[in-house]
Amino acid sequence: MVFLFRAVYLNSVGMASLIGLACLVGLTMYAYYADCDPHTAGWVHASDQMGPYFVMDILKDYPGLPGLYICSAFSGTLR
């Protein structure tokens, strides 16, 4: 029974940190695109494309790094 409570506690700490990081990324994108919204400008067509667009926009001066990020993000979704 103690192991169950420990697992629930560790899961809640992990999920809280993931949600916190996602919120920080959202706030960073909001601050970066405060003057121009890529969605209304027509650069992206859906709101779920904002994250990869943000990474490609920030890391465009570093060759290979945007591709490495996108590759790791896609491989993280695989099972």
The SS3 of residue 35 is coil
Average of per-residue pLDDT values in the chain: 89
What the block records as the tokens of 2 is 């103690």
| Domain extents in the chain | 2-77
The region, left, alpha or beta by phi > 0 then psi within -120 to 50, assigned to residue 64 is left
Give per-residue pLDDT as tens, 38-74.
Answer: 888 889 998 888 888 898 889 889 998 988 988 888 8
Local confidence band at 79 (pLDDT 50, 70, 90 cut-offs):
low
